[in-house]
Chain A
Amino acid sequence: MIDQSPALILLAPFLLAILLALLGIKREWLCFPLVIAGLAISVAASVVTLLRVIDEGTIQYFFGGWEPPFGINLRVDGLNALVALAVSTVSLLTAIYSKRAVPAETSDKVSQFYTLYLLSVTGLLGIVLTGDAFNLYVLIEISALTSYALIGMGSRRATLAAYKYLIMGTIGASFYLLGVGYLYIKTGSLNMYDIQEQIVANNLHGSPSIFVAFVVIIVGVWIKMAFFPLHSWLPNSYAYGPSTTSALLGPLVTKVMIYVMIRMILTVFGPEFAFDQLDWSNIIVWMSVIAILAASISALAQASLQKILAFLIIAEVGYMVGGVWLADKMGMIGSIYHIIADAFMTLCVFLFAGIIFTKTGRHDISAMEGLFTKMPLTMVGFLVGAFSLIGIPPTAGFFSKWYLIQGGISSGHYEYVAALLISSLINAVIFFRIIEIAYFGSKPAEGHGYHHNEEQKDGTMEASFSMLFPLLITAAVLLGIGLYNQEVVEIITNFVSQFNIGAIIL
């Protein structure tokens, strides 16, 4: 069974999604255990795969027994083993949180919600693991279609947001597909590594088709990851969708797309082409500087917690796009480490926002008055997430920013370093404002909406265990990958050092 581990990562949630669709309609109680079972197997398989990758190096898995380029393969190296583990862990934690949130928010469609949830995770994991450029498109379709539906199941405004996302997301995916088509015309292959070999063997780096393919693929994934001028679909989608949806898609979709961008640059086109030959680093780093600052300032202007978090995601995307295009080893390491760290810190704050919404029925930050005395454990979890987003040691956010800043300095992009520091300051302002309201706001929050304050006898109204548990685990993970950042970075460094990126200062 061990050699099946890469396939099991995504096939376990897939199989259980189908079983859930068949069995869950009449038996609602069955849904939650099936979801947990599927994702738990997926996490276990990811851990096994990661350990195998550390041991043996790159693992290949051939579907149908056909070797590439004839068939489709999964190709797992240090980069996607880590990202896959992060994706499966985040989705498992969100699933635990959803136990009470989903029946409350999408009452009569629980089995459909969970079917789509598991298929969405399958799609994201498939994107991360696959070694085939066209297969990646098919799985983008699955993860996108499911996320439109998951968002659209929220409130009335969510349907419109999901529609906008559908239009933008489809344009992004079509651009990607168009790029794959251009690559196929010139290379005759769809396998990522085979395309790279063909480009090098036939000396196609100067070909206009390859150039157009690169441009449309990168613009396509920029749309999907909400890179700043192309971000308009994101804030409303994540703010109005059901809280479980935001906690699943918020941490994962943008990060997986950044993974796709890194994979395309490093594996398909090669860093020599993307960084040295095109020499766009300056422009794109400046674009990411604008993205970081614009998104951070927009976040400062929001009153609703969900919206603040949505804009923070867009700022984080700017960090990572900038970090990649620094064309520097440290920047690349920082970006990859930031994918992992950001997945967990976004999850942490989105889980917190979901808990607050469930408890008070409100989205605005004034709902948080006096929460330190009422929900002390929830606030501890939130503090870790907030400190990580600000970048306070020893949380993971500090170390990822540390590597990114090192990359910025060694490649001479001081504007990027400045943007990172300013954005950290803005994050500090945002979160300390929330913390101040929660700590000093004396008046207890009045319950509005359809939820009620379940104050217990001692005046606390701590969230239920199924919501609190994933929040605290996420906080622990953030501290864990912060404290053990050396080990994580070592895996990433092993991966990045195969490639010839910029100045080699390590």
Chain B
Amino acid sequence: MKSFALITVILTGWLLLSAVSDFPSWGDTESPANDYRLSQHYITETFPESSVPNMVTAVLADYRGYDTMFETVVIFVAGIAIMSILRRKPLDYLKDTGRETRSYKKDPDLIIDTTCRLMIPIIQLFALYVVAHGHHSPGGGFQGGVIFGASFILLALSRDLQAAQRWVPEKRVLNLAGIGILIYSGFGFACMILGSNFLDYEILHKIMPATPVEARSHSMLGVEIGVAFTCTAIMFSIYSNLASNGDMKETL
């Protein structure tokens, strides 16, 4: 069986490599991906059409905003899925294994505790910057959300899960994740209610103090914030479910 698997892998690799000679050469400006009207349009028209200097963000949150909404949903689904399979009520879990209840409190270590006390606010501030500045420089909701989620994970690592859960209890985590997607799709549905297509931000200038082109830019910031909410919450939810084996009591 193992040799069969090896043959399959070699054949697949050969198949994939066989087309490499057909590829355009590295960095070729004439290659279809660079030359075609699609990328040309993104490069030249992004700023006039959406007043966002960072064209990556514009492609992500506007031209292909529908994809990005569902990418956010993928993260949301991953969190819910892990929770729905792992999450157990702590009491049942202890009864199952016959393990004794013990105190989960660690003695706080002075150095670690102080360092994290200093680090966590800075990490969170930086996360907010990454989210807010996404349409001017590299960054955006996914990156910012992950950084923000990491700050809570750091808190949970340096003390224990309960300390982090005082800030983000389980229920609030789920609500935050749902609200994030609701913000994103809310922009879409608002466009629909105002009489345009889903996620066609231009129409939002009716309810925003902005020109139609600026409305696109502002809405992109809005949906990035939604993405950041979901990413933050799901990062922490996945960590706490995996690390505590689903009972939300003790961690690694």
Mark each residue of chain A from 330 to 355: 1 if its CB lies under 8 Å from any CB of chain B, else 0: 00000000000000000000000000
Asked if A88 is at the interface of the complex by the 8 Å CB criterion, the answer is: no
| Assembly CA distance A184 to B39 (angstroms) | 12
From known contacts A18-B182, A149-B85, A186-B32, infer whether A138 and B74 are also in contact, taking CB-CB under 8 Å: yes
Chain B nearest CB from A499 CB (Å) reads: 25
Residues of B within 8 A of A184 (CB): 33
Residues of A within 8 A of B182 (CB): 18-19, 22
User: Would you list which residues of chain B between 193 and 215 have a CB under 8 Å from chain A?
Assistant: 196-202
Q: Is the CB of B174 within 8 A of A25?
A: yes
Q: Is the CB of B84 within 8 A of A216?
A: no
Chain A nearest CB from B155 CB (Å) reads: 24
From known contacts A25-B171, A134-B67, infer whether A142 and B73 are also in contact, taking CB-CB under 8 Å: yes
Q: Is the CB of B202 within 8 A of A112?
A: no
Chain A nearest CB from B66 CB (Å) reads: 4
Q: Is the CB of A126 within 8 A of B32?
A: no
Contact of A145 among B74, B89, B177 (CB under 8 A): B74
Residues of A within 8 A of B87 (CB): 109
Mark each residue of chain A from 183 to 212: 1 if its CB lies under 8 Å from any CB of chain B, else 0: 011111100000000100010000111011
Residues of A within 8 A of B76 (CB): 21
Chain B nearest CB from A317 CB (Å) reads: 21
| Assembly CA distance A116 to B202 (angstroms) | 32
Asked if A325 is at the interface of the complex by the 8 Å CB criterion, the answer is: no
Mark each residue of chain B from 66 to 86: 1 if its CB lies under 8 Å from any CB of chain A, else 0: 110011011011101101110
From known contacts A61-B197, A116-B84, A187-B32, infer whether A66 and B63 are also in contact, taking CB-CB under 8 Å: yes
Asked if A14 is at the interface of the complex by the 8 Å CB criterion, the answer is: yes
Q: Is the CB of A71 within 8 A of B63?
A: yes
- B22, B36, B42 — most chain A CB neighbours (10 Å): B22
Q: Is the CB of A142 within 8 A of B77?
A: yes
Asked if A4 is at the interface of the complex by the 8 Å CB criterion, the answer is: yes
From known contacts A66-B63, A189-B36, infer whether A148 and B174 are also in contact, taking CB-CB under 8 Å: no
Residues of B within 8 A of A116 (CB): 77, 80-81, 84
Q: Is the CB of A141 within 8 A of B74?
A: yes
Asked if A115 is at the interface of the complex by the 8 Å CB criterion, the answer is: yes
Contact of A72 among B64, B178, B181, B202 (CB under 8 A): B64
Contact of A185 among B18, B21, B24, B185 (CB under 8 A): B24
Q: Is the CB of B64 within 8 A of A145?
A: no
A-B contact count (CB 8 A): 160
Mark each residue of chain A from 105 to 149: 1 if its CB lies under 8 Å from any CB of chain B, else 0: 000110011011001001000100000101100110110011011
Asked if B113 is at the interface of the complex by the 8 Å CB criterion, the answer is: no
| Assembly CA distance A336 to B35 (angstroms) | 38
Q: Is the CB of A4 within 8 A of B16?
A: no
Chain A nearest CB from B5 CB (Å) reads: 12
Mark each residue of chain A from 204 to 247: 1 if its CB lies under 8 Å from any CB of chain B, else 0: 00011101100110000000000000000000000000000000
Residues of B within 8 A of A134 (CB): 67
Asked if A484 is at the interface of the complex by the 8 Å CB criterion, the answer is: no
Classify the interface of chain A: helix, strand, loop or mixed.
helix
Chain A nearest CB from B182 CB (Å) reads: 5
Asked if A11 is at the interface of the complex by the 8 Å CB criterion, the answer is: yes
Chain B nearest CB from A195 CB (Å) reads: 11
Contact of A112 among B22, B34, B36, B80 (CB under 8 A): B80
Asked if A397 is at the interface of the complex by the 8 Å CB criterion, the answer is: no
Contact of A153 among B16, B85, B89, B175 (CB under 8 A): B85
Residues of A within 8 A of B32 (CB): 185-188, 198, 202
Asked if B41 is at the interface of the complex by the 8 Å CB criterion, the answer is: yes
Residues of B within 8 A of A216 (CB): 15-16
Residues of A within 8 A of B83 (CB): 112
Mark each residue of chain B from 82 to 120: 1 if its CB lies under 8 Å from any CB of chain A, else 0: 011101010000000000000000000000000000000
Q: Is the CB of B197 within 8 A of A65?
A: yes
Asked if A63 is at the interface of the complex by the 8 Å CB criterion, the answer is: yes
From known contacts A7-B198, A22-B179, A209-B22, infer whether A159 and B85 are also in contact, taking CB-CB under 8 Å: yes
| Assembly CA distance A70 to B73 (angstroms) | 22
Residues of A within 8 A of B85 (CB): 149, 152-153, 159, 162
| A-B pairs with beta carbons under 8 Å apart, 19 shown | A15-B185, A21-B76, A22-B182, A25-B174, A64-B65, A64-B66, A64-B201, A65-B200, A122-B73, A138-B67, A145-B74, A149-B81, A182-B19, A185-B23, A188-B34, A208-B21, A209-B23, A211-B19, A216-B16
Q: Which residues of B contact A (CB under 8 A)?
A: 15-16, 18-19, 21-24, 31-39, 41-42, 62-67, 70-71, 73-74, 76-78, 80-81, 83-85, 87, 89, 171, 174-175, 177-179, 181-182, 185, 188-189, 192, 196-202
Given contacts A61-B197, A188-B34, 11 further A-B contacts (CB under 8 A): A21-B178, A25-B174, A63-B198, A64-B65, A64-B201, A71-B64, A115-B80, A135-B67, A188-B33, A198-B36, A207-B19
